Amino acid sequence: MDVIEQTLPYKLISWNWLPNSEVFHLPSIASSPIKEFPMETSNAFLKERFYPASLHYLTPVTVAFVYFICVHLVNKIVVRRQLRQYQSSNPGQAVPKRLPSAPYAIAKHRYFKLFVLLHNVALCVYSVWTFLGMTTTIYYYSHELIPDLIGRYYSLSSKLSPVDLFWQSVCDVDHGIWYNQGDSIKGLAFYSYVFYLSKYYEILDTVIILLKGRPASLLQSYHHSGAILSMWAGTRFASPPIWIFVVFNSFIHSIMYFYYTLACVGVRLGGIFKQTLTSLQICQFVFGGSLAVVHLFVRYLDVLSGTYRSCISTSEEALALFINVFYLTPLTMLFAAFYIDSYKKKDKLKKS
């Protein structure tokens, strides 16, 4: 390939007042090609059957819908069980607003408790691994690979801006963080796909709650079903902002599942830790959603052509962004309501 003998433009990144008009076109979900399998394996089943099937739109839609409906049907059974146990233990007393849990026999077994512990440990370790891996990839691309790539095609007359290099790395799907770089540096395609699959596994969180004899909240069911759809869209269409979901969510989950792990072994960190964690989750949604929208207005340098391209350049990439933002808006309100109900109202009651 011929080297472009020219000086690098003043900036790698430019900003538009308006998004690319292409993002408002009707997306082609079925005919849009799927990116290549992001893992090194010769297993034909994984590459040719499981991978395409997992990214077919009916897979996340069906699972999310069935999960959401089943949770609220099972909730009714759990609440009736709670009511029966409370009335049998407290005959003639008024039913409280919040019924005590009514765990099933399996939830009292030591193997179940061991499973819950291992479940939380596994998700904590996985979340830390994802967060460190993804941040390492972003750093490696923005500090080494992208500057090296640009230096091969342009004569660099000044130091490249770290901010510009960051946006160049996350926006350029062809040369940026999306693809693996050897065996040691895995790309966003790898981490986002594994993260997408982990959202199915996290449904076990709800199963554990139900078996412990407590109904799952709307926040719980909406959170898990929406996460499946959001991660599917970002992974399926290789949408650049999906790095936000992977990095931010893995960071919060590292703390959250560490907290759950400690609770399993009887270590209580106190209400202030849980309140801080909820605050971090709300900040994650507000800041992450806002940062995702910013991608609509970013243009990065196409190194080969020397022209600027929109970070969100297709309607399919934009669809993934819109799904994530529409998902985060009600989720933020649900978390805010949970925060007020769990902490602010309790503070008022204590003061009174």
Q: What is the pLDDT of residue 6?
A: 62
pLDDT of 163 > 60? The answer is: yes
Percent of the chain with pLDDT over 90: 72
Residue 21 pLDDT > 80: yes
Element (H, E) at 80: helix 58-89
Residues 187/39, Cβ–Cβ less than 8 Å: no
Which class for 103: exposed (0-12), middle (13-18), buried (19 or more C-beta within 10 A)? Answer: middle
pLDDT score of 3: 47
Can you tell me the mean pLDDT for 78-99? 90
- Give the mean pLDDT of 55-77: 97
pLDDT tops 90 at residue 201: yes
Averaged pLDDT, 272-283: 92
DSSP code, position 341: I
Q: Please, which residues bridge with residue 14 across strands?
A: 299
Residues counted in the chain: 352
User: What number of CA atoms fall less than 13 Å from residue 307's CA on the CB side?
Assistant: 3
Distance CA 286, CA 336 (A): 11
Residue 111 has pLDDT above 70, yes or no: yes
CA nearest neighbour of 314 among 222, 262, 239, 202:
239
pLDDT of residue 20 exceeding 90, the answer is no
The helix (run of H) or strand (run of E) holding residue 327 is helix 315-339
User: What are the φ/ψ torsions at residue 160 (nearest 5 degrees)?
Assistant: -75, 140
Enumerate residues 6+ apart whose C-beta is below 8 A from 5: 155
The residue among 343 and 280 whose pLDDT is bigger is: 280
**Residue-level pLDDT at 221:** 96
Q: Answer yes or no: is pLDDT of 347 > 70.
A: no
Q: Is residue 229 scored above 80 in pLDDT?
A: yes
* List of residues 6+ apart from 315 with CB closer than 8 A: 22, 23, 24, 25, 26, 27, 28
- 351 — pLDDT class (breaks 50, 70, 90): low
Are the beta carbons of 192 and 231 closer than 8 angstroms? yes
269 or 47: which leads in pLDDT? 47
- Please give the torsion angle defined by the CA atoms of residues 123, 252, 300 and 148, in that order, rounded to the nearest 10 degrees: -60
Give me the mean pLDDT over the 213-241 stretch: 96
Residue found under tokens 């978390």: 335
Burial 55-65 (b: 16+ CB within 10 A, else e): beeebbeebbe
pLDDT of residue 124: 98
Q: For residue 331, is pLDDT > 90?
A: yes
What is the amino acid identity at position 199?
Answer: K
Distance between CA atoms of 238 and 169, rounded to whole angstroms? 14
Confidence check: pLDDT of 7 > 80: no
Weakest mean pLDDT among 9-13, 102-106, 287-291? 9-13
Residue 315 above 90 pLDDT? Answer: yes
Q: Assign residue 46 a region (left: φ > 0; alpha: ψ between -120 and 50; beta: otherwise).
A: alpha
Q: In what order do the strands lie in the sheet with 13-15?
A: 13-15, 298-302, 307-310
What pTM did the predictor assign?
0.93
The whole-number pLDDT of residue 1 equals 41
pLDDT at 37 over 90: yes
- 182 falls in which pLDDT band (50, 70, 90)? confident
Q: How confident is the model at residue 96 (pLDDT cuts 50, 70, 90)?
A: confident
Residue 145: pLDDT band (50, 70, 90) is very high
Percent of the chain with pLDDT over 70: 94
Q: Per residue, what are the HEC states of 211-223?
A: HCCCCCCHHHHHH
Alpha carbons 112 and 16: distance in angstroms, whole number: 54
Predicted confidence band of residue 10 (pLDDT cuts 50, 70, 90): low
CA angle 307, 310, 316 (to 5 degrees): 135
Please name the residues in contact with 244: beta carbons below 8 A apart, sequence gap of 6 or more.
288, 291, 292
Q: Comparing 24-33, 63-72, 212-221, 323-332, which segment has the lowest mean pLDDT? A: 24-33
